[in-house]
Structure formats: structure tokens, C-alpha cells
Structure 1
Amino acid sequence: MTTDVSHTTGLTPAVLQGLIKDGAGPRLLDVRTPGEFRTAHIPGAYNVPLDTLREHRAELLAHLDQDVVLVCRSGARASKAEQALAEAGLPNLRVLDGGMMAWEMAGAPVTRGEARWDLERQVRLIAGSIVLVTGVVGVLVPGVHLIGTAIGAGLTFAALTNTCAMGMLLSKLPYNRGPRTDIRTVIASLRDRS
């Protein structure tokens, strides 16, 4: 049984809860890092990090023959995943409006694991620390403050383009990767649920 989910539209947490209540709802693909996924995810979701999804979208396509809802922290990465899957020819895509933040705020069910900092918080820590240190050191060493200015420019660019080079770099760290998502295991699980 499939639900009526059309391409390029969002889905509120309340509507998604109703769709998955009976267990026959759409497939949920969580495109966050494995570390973020292990911290908290929607029960029944499959973890396919955005980079993995982009790399293996053709393989996934054959096993996503029903409605798919894409999930991330806030909706930005899920929108990028939607674009990648739509370009590969997958219809019936939706993005969870507000991502896991909205899902948790709605009091929806969550499977929890070991707490970890999400990427956005890590970016704020690293960027803020660099600006703070270069600002203090810049009092004694002329020109060092320009490093903080460069970080500010990078954050501005990240906001304007809805991309984040620092976040992409941090997502590669072992802390955020955890065990690498094995696409064969994900595909086997998708096949078994069919």
C-alpha cells in the first residue's frame, strides 16, 4: 500500500505521524551523518547520509518504488537529497518540514542512542573558537584578526548559499561518521520491507 505523496512538497510532522501510524506509510530516508542518526532518529528510518545517497542513488532507485520522505536535522540536506533523487528519476518524494528538530518539538516518537553534538553546533563551536582566539591574539600580533574575518566571510557565504564547507569537513571526522553506512545493508533492508 502506498500513500499519495507528490514530488517537491513538504510534509509536516503531524501528517507524517498519521501516515506511519499503521506501519504502511512511506519509506523514511534519514540523510544525516551516522553519528547524528545514532543520537536520535524516527523509528523505522533508514540512514543514508547525503554523500552516500548521491553516490549510490541509482542503486537505491530500484528499491524505492513507493513514497519516500527525506529527513535531516532542519530540512536543508533533505532538500538536496530530494533534488539528487528527483534528477535520478524517483517520483513521490517529500521532505519532512523542519526535519528532526520539528519532529522532536512535535513530541513525535524518536529512537535515541548516545548523545552527540549535531553538525551545526560543532560548526558554531569551531567558528566561534577561531574568531575568539584570533581576536585575542590579534591584540598582540597584528593581522591575526583577519583569520576571524575570513571565518565570518565563510559563515556569511554558507548562509547565503545554504551550504557549509566547515560542516562538510566536520562530517568526515570519525566522531560524526561512526560506522560507515553500508549501502548493501540498506538496500537489503529496503528489499526485505517490500
Structure 2
Amino acid sequence: MAQFIEPAELKRRLDEGSAVLIDIRDPDEYAREHIRGARLVPLAAWDRHDLEGEAGKAVVFTCRSGNRTAAHAARLFARAFPEAYLLRGGIEAWKAAGLPVHRDPRAPLELQRQVQIAVGTMILAGLALAWAASPWFLALPAFAGAGLVFAGITGFCGMARLLAAMPWNRPQPSG
């Protein structure tokens, strides 16, 4: 059974150095907003990360709302940390408690949100064009819906791949 820690208690433990915070979200989510000092270990790469350098500290896992960490708690805790917790409510609860986060408004929106915006726009445009011009434009929302079903079944999202290749989603050279 997962143990939870409240944001204020986590803040205290981070300040005293007795805990390490692991953010399991994807890099694009982390780049846009994260708790300062959180270590990014995406869930997709969880099994390949070495966390031995944190011996003697409590390990706390977080995501945006706490749902992802709760859903994967058994996998996260399987490493047998001596003391491990989930941040109750995730980063959203941390912010609701008035605690600071690092935000980078220049970072692109999370890829999942970009896909939702693109697919929603395709559906609305297709419906509007079908109503105003020709019913043949219903092919556009049908195509978008078929793409979502295909992505759900296979785990491959062509729209996400296409959006990931867009210039605003590519890392910018520094300096």
C-alpha cells in the first residue's frame, strides 16, 4: 500500500536534505513546470535509471495531479526503497499549498496537449466546413477519430510524432 506525504511535510524534508523528489512525468511536461530540485526520471525510462546515489534519504514520487504516481505505485516502490512516498495531489497540490514551482513559459506545451488541440481543431474545422460547404468535409473529423482509435490500440500516435518534429518542439541551441 502506498504511503503519502503532504506538500508542507515534503517541503520541510527537502529543505533539510532528508528527502529526494522524483518527478515521473515526461521531459516536455517537466520543462514547462516542475518543483525546484525535483529529479526527472520519466516513467517510460524508470527501469533504466540508477537511484543509488540517494541512499539514506526518503524518496518521494510526484506527477502533475498524483494520479500517475498512484496508478504506478507498485512499480515505483518495487525498488524497495527504505522510505518511499507519493506526493499527495502531485504538483497541483504543491502549488495549491502556496509552494513555489519553476515555470518556463517559453517551453512548448506538453505534447499530449498539443495533440489534443490539433485533433480538436481538425474535428471542429471538419464539422464547420461540412455544415457550411460540403458534407465531404466530414472525412476530416472521421480521420481524426480514426487516428485516436489507432493511437489508443497501438500506442503509436502519428500526430504526436509529427508535432514533436515541429520547430517549436526542438531543443534550441544555447548561447
Q: Tell me the TM-score normalised to structure 1 length.
A: 0.62
Identical aligned residues as a percent = 28
Q: How does 1:63-82 map to 2 (within 5 A)?
A: 63-65=53-55, 66-82=57-73
Shift of 1:27: 0.8
Shift of 1:40: 2.4
> 1:151-175, CA deviations, whole angstroms, 9 ceiling, x for partnerless residues?
78789x8xxxxxx976xx46x9266
Contact 1:131 1:151 in 2 (8 A): no
SS in 2 for 1:104: helix
What is the distance in 2 between the residues matched to 1:87 and 1:26?
18
Q: How does 1:154-193 map to 2 (within 5 A)?
A: 169=160, 173=164, 178=171
Q: Which structure's CA Rg is the greater one?
A: 2
Q: In structure 2, what is the equivalent of residue 31 of structure 1?
A: 24
Q: Does residue 1:107 correspond to 2:103, yes or no?
A: no
What is the distance in 1 between the residues matched to 2:147 and 2:5?
34
What is the distance in 2 between the residues matched to 1:80 and 1:50?
11
Q: In structure 2, what is the equivalent of residue 184 of structure 1?
A: none
Q: Tell me the TM-score normalised to structure 2 length.
A: 0.68
Shift of 1:100: 1.6
The residue type paired with residue 30 of structure 2 is F
Q: Structure 1 segments of 4 or more deviating over 6 A?
A: 151-155
Q: How does 1:141-160 map to 2 (within 5 A)?
A: 141=136, 144=139, 145-147=141-143, 149-150=145-146
Matched residue count: 161
| Relative contact order higher in (CA < 8 Å, ≥ 6 apart) | 1
Shift of 1:148: 5.1
The residue type paired with residue 134 of structure 1 is G
Q: Does residue 1:130 correspond to 2:122, yes or no?
A: yes
- Aligned residues: CA RMSD: 3.6
SS in 2 for 1:52: helix
Q: In structure 2, what is the equivalent of residue 18 of structure 1?
A: 12
Unaligned ranges ≥5, structure 1: 1-6, 158-163, 180-194
